[in-house]
Structure 1
Amino acid sequence: MRIWSSLFTILLVLGIVLFGSCSSGKEGIRPETSDLIESVYASVQVEPEGYYKVFAASTGIIRSIHVKEGDTVATGEVLATIDSDRADLQKSDAIIQAELARENYQGKAAVLSSLENEIASLEKQFSLDSTNFFRQKRLWEQKIGSKSDFEQAELRYDRSLNSLDRARKNFIQKKNELESNYRRALLALDRAETSLDEFSITSRMDGMVYSILKEEGESLGSMEALAQLGSSTDFILKMSIDEVDIARVEVGQQAYITLDAYPGEVFQAELSRIDPMKDERTQTFEVEARFITPPPRLYAGLTGEANITIRTIEDVLHIPLAYLTADDKVITDEGEIEVEIGLRNLDRVQILSGLDSTSTLYLPD
């Protein structure tokens, strides 16, 4: 019995020595006390401000492309034209019809000129017939002259008055008709020009051509983009955030950005927009942010990662997340012990109880 007791004591001591030698063979760390930041991870892609795909208002064959990738363009600048022979003919015909209608309404050889001349002639005739009528009327009232002369003068007066009245009404009617024809011709010309404009694809912003997706001579459908444009100076960050994290994200929160093009550097940004609709394909939400401290140079399509700050807890005890086992335990000089944890982020975890700043921790095997 005494032999077995001695043997157990030897094994226990040997185990302690072996564990101590194992722990002493590893490099230990101690918990730290400082502010701990809770954050949400997001993948990042840099995109030009105002980035959009250019579509044509009309389908057809691309006659010519007037820009190339990397060109800067102004608002309204023509990017490409689509074959528009029919629209050109329609515009030419509309110009001819509008000019003819204008000449009829306003020109020297206008129809109204002949009507005005007719009215002037009838006014002279009416003036003459009116003078004769009232002269014959006075004579007849004085019992001078014959009744036949009076009646003939009255008849000529009535006939002149009626003719002048008809001419004036005809003039007004014709003028309204010609004015209406002229306005319709101008509207037809405007529609023809608008239709022709649909065959010219223009830029809707001052910016840069980032890509040309078609070539001259190719067919361009209503759902096919010709090019991709965006700002040449201003960029935004497009972030993809998992749906399990989106409820904690708000506009105005700060984000710390790392870009593959700038290894080892961190840039600050602020969230500016949260897309309310989830992308069913990726099961993520799109969030936009703007740089507070941008890199010296940016390019469309740069990728990286972001940590969005949710909240900060001051003066807490925390350890690297890698030192915590799956069942919330840590390895110390005293062996494996269970700890109570609080806030965690991508690489640190808060320790609520079970450790203090003097504890030594070792990486789990």
Structure 2
Amino acid sequence: MLKNKRNIAIGGVVLVLLISFFVFGNSGGSEATDIIVPVEEGQFVVDINTTGELEAKNSTEITGPNRLRNYRIYQVNIQDIIDEGTYVEKGQYIARLDPSELNNRMKDSELQIEEQQSEYTQVELDTTLQLREARDNLTNLAYAVEEKKLVFEQSQYEPPATIKQAEIEFEKAKRALKQAKEAYLIKQRQLGARMKEVSIDLRQDQLEYDGMKELLSQFTITAPESGMLIYRKGYDGRPIKEGSQISAWDPVVATLPDLSSMNSITYVNEVDIRKVSVGQKVDIGLDAFPDKKLSGVVTRVANVGEQRPNSDAKVFQVTIELDKVDGDLRPGMTTSNKIFTQVIEQAVSIPLEALHSFQDSITYVYKQTGMNYQRQEVQIGATNADRAEILLGLSTSDEVYLSAPNGDIESADDIKLLAELNGKRNLKKEEPKQDTPTPPTGRKGRRNNPNS
């Protein structure tokens, strides 16, 4: 009987201990739903993932007329163009531009030439008549000089006054002839200058018309070299087509790419562009060939941002040169680019989910300490899409919670205490754990009284 009572008492004590352990002994520890992960050490990669498009590194441009502005034509419509991707031979037909505006200008030029020709003829006739009249006047004045000379010679036997009068008339006649000759030379130069002016205007109009005729022949565009035709993209990022316009400042219609070397053109948002620099390695995938893995290197980072169609964010163009190309690659193929902005060979890191912060000033984690946990302030370095590098506060022997254990909710007093205990401004890298665990800075019993 006594033995049975002893067994019952022992059983009751064990039951009480078990209840106490499950109710009180695990306070401040983790529940079954809490996930604990180890702090890892190894290579830490920071990368940026973008989508891009293949483009030939070098290409031959197929252009329309490059002297449109000389004839006050600034936009020309594409009337017809062959299909993109067509392989063309040198000299083969590519496209035809709409000549309507140029034809109208040629008609205006023809009328201008006719007017200038008529004016030239009129000036030529006027010049002929005026010079003829001037020459007749010179002849008459020469006769007058001869006449006055005879009178003067015959007056030698007349009274002195008569002789003097005859001499004066003779001198006046010679002076009039001299002045008429000088005036004739001036008029001749004036009329010659007028003829030259009209002739120049006529020649300019004729040259402009001839230039437009030559320009019209360039409205039919042919291939300068053999290759695959790739349409030029417009300002909206879309390839040009029949009905599109080309500008007098940039008359490129299409290109013939050199497929021996290619680039992936991509865009990085303004938040991440500071991480990207020339020389960084890139892993490249193709939507068209998911199993094909390519590599490349960043060769250019734009200094000025731009706003792409259908996007409110500013982006910067980044050019990635492929290390190797093959016959499957085509311009315009969509690429997925992983730009390796930073590679740290040995780094301590934890998942981003394990990080917590208070008012964006203190970053901490929940570190497991035996059956309990403590809040541990940490200093973070580089981050990627999944993990964060830990510079101070944790070692590889530690384990952290992915979320606040038992729904732990920190108060302002708790955070101040955390800062004091962990030395916010003088963090030191933790030494590896000894056999005796470090006392936790957190307080037990958070499940029953989270605000205690």
Give ranges in structure 1 of 5+ residues lacking alignment: 14-21, 23-27
Secondary structure (helix, strand or coil) at the match of 1:306 reads strand
Q: State which of 375, 385, 388 in structure 2 corresponds to 1:346.
A: 385
Determine whether 1:245 maps to 2:272. Answer: yes
Answer yes or no: is the 8 Å Cα contact 1:268–1:292 preserved in 2: yes
Q: Cα deviations across residues 215-252 of structure 1 (Å, max 9, x unaligned)?
A: 4xx69799xx9985356237654433334334x24653
Q: Cα deviations across residues 98-144 of structure 1 (Å, max 9, x unaligned)?
A: 56667788xxx886567667766766766676566567657757869
Which residue of 2 is the match for residue 284 of structure 1? Answer: 313
Q: Which entry has the higher C-alpha Rg, 1 or 2?
A: 2
Which residue of 2 is the match for residue 18 of structure 1? Answer: none
Alignment map for 1:78-97 (pairs within 5 Å): 79-84=96-101, 85-97=103-115
TM-score normalised by structure 2 residue count: 0.52
Q: State which of 47, 54, 60 in structure 2 corresponds to 1:46.
A: 54
Q: Which amino acid aligns with 2:257?
A: S
Alignment map for 1:108-147 (pairs within 5 Å): none
> CA 1:73 to 1:188, structure 2 compared with 1: closer, same or farther past 3 Å?
farther
Which residue of 1 is the match for residue 84 of structure 2? Answer: 69
In structure 2, how many angstroms separate the alpha carbons of the residues matched to 1:78 and 1:134? 83
Answer yes or no: is the 8 Å Cα contact 1:331–1:361 preserved in 2: yes
Which residue of 2 is the match for residue 210 of structure 1? Answer: 231
Alpha-carbon offset, residue 177 of structure 1: 1.8
> CA 1:33 to 1:140, structure 2 compared with 1: closer, same or farther past 3 Å?
farther
Q: State which of 295, 315, 320 in structure 1 corresponds to 2:346.
A: 315
In structure 2, how many angstroms separate the alpha carbons of the residues matched to 1:280 and 1:179? 56
> CA 1:300 to 1:4, structure 2 compared with 1: closer, same or farther past 3 Å?
farther
Deviating more after overlay: 170-179 vs 124-133 = 124-133
> CA 1:239 to 1:291, structure 2 compared with 1: closer, same or farther past 3 Å?
closer
Q: Cα deviations across residues 122-168 of structure 1 (Å, max 9, x unaligned)?
A: 66766676566567657757869975875775565455445434433
Alpha-carbon offset, residue 301 of structure 1: 2.5
> CA 1:80 to 1:181, structure 2 compared with 1: closer, same or farther past 3 Å?
same
Q: Which amino acid aligns with 1:33?
A: G
Answer yes or no: is the 8 Å Cα contact 2:367–2:399 preserved in 1: no
Answer yes or no: is the 8 Å Cα contact 2:40–2:349 preserved in 1: yes
Answer yes or no: is the 8 Å Cα contact 1:118–1:167 preserved in 2: no
Q: Which amino acid aligns with 1:42?
A: T
> CA 1:131 to 1:101, structure 2 compared with 1: closer, same or farther past 3 Å?
same
Percent of matched pairs sharing the same residue? 12
Secondary structure (helix, strand or coil) at the match of 1:301 reads coil
Alpha-carbon offset, residue 88 of structure 1: 2.8
Alpha-carbon offset, residue 316 of structure 1: 1.7
In structure 2, how many angstroms separate the alpha carbons of the residues matched to 1:235 and 1:103? 63
In structure 2, how many angstroms separate the alpha carbons of the residues matched to 1:40 and 1:219? 36
> CA 1:236 to 1:141, structure 2 compared with 1: closer, same or farther past 3 Å?
farther
Determine whether 1:174 maps to 2:191. Answer: yes
In structure 1, how many angstroms separate the alpha carbons of the residues matched to 2:182 and 2:115? 32
> CA 1:252 to 1:149, structure 2 compared with 1: closer, same or farther past 3 Å?
same
In structure 1, how many angstroms separate the alpha carbons of the residues matched to 2:332 and 2:106? 40
Which residue of 1 is the match for residue 333 of structure 2? Answer: 302
Q: How many residue pairs get matched?
A: 335
Secondary structure (helix, strand or coil) at the match of 1:232 reads strand
Deviating more after overlay: 38-47 vs 134-143 = 134-143
Q: Which amino acid aligns with 2:254?
A: L
Answer yes or no: is the 8 Å Cα contact 1:257–1:306 preserved in 2: yes
Q: Cα deviations across residues 50-104 of structure 1 (Å, max 9, x unaligned)?
A: 9999999467886x53765355899xx9851322443232233344455666778
In structure 1, how many angstroms separate the alpha carbons of the residues matched to 2:296 and 2:244? 44
Answer yes or no: is the 8 Å Cα contact 2:267–2:317 preserved in 1: no
Alpha-carbon offset, residue 271 of structure 1: 3.1
Determine whether 1:265 maps to 2:294. Answer: yes
Q: Which amino acid aligns with 1:241?
A: V
Determine whether 1:232 maps to 2:218. Answer: no
TM-score normalised by structure 1 residue count: 0.61
Secondary structure (helix, strand or coil) at the match of 1:289 reads strand
Q: Which amino acid aligns with 2:42?
A: T
Q: Cα deviations across residues 258-296 of structure 1 (Å, max 9, x unaligned)?
A: 131463222222333133345594233332233344441
Q: Over aligned residue pairs, what C-alpha RMSD do you find? A: 5.7
Which residue of 1 is the match for residue 303 of structure 2? Answer: 274
In structure 2, how many angstroms separate the alpha carbons of the residues matched to 1:73 and 1:12? 88
Secondary structure (helix, strand or coil) at the match of 1:271 reads strand
Q: Which amino acid aligns with 1:86?
A: N
In structure 1, how many angstroms separate the alpha carbons of the residues matched to 2:264 and 2:156? 102
> CA 1:259 to 1:42, structure 2 compared with 1: closer, same or farther past 3 Å?
same
In structure 2, how many angstroms separate the alpha carbons of the residues matched to 1:200 and 1:185? 25
> CA 1:280 to 1:72, structure 2 compared with 1: closer, same or farther past 3 Å?
same
Secondary structure (helix, strand or coil) at the match of 1:266 reads strand
In structure 2, how many angstroms separate the alpha carbons of the residues matched to 1:219 and 1:282? 23
In structure 1, how many angstroms separate the alpha carbons of the residues matched to 2:122 and 2:340? 74
Answer yes or no: is the 8 Å Cα contact 2:307–2:314 preserved in 1: yes
Give ranges in structure 2 of 5+ residues lacking alignment: 1-8, 23-31, 233-238, 357-364, 404-452
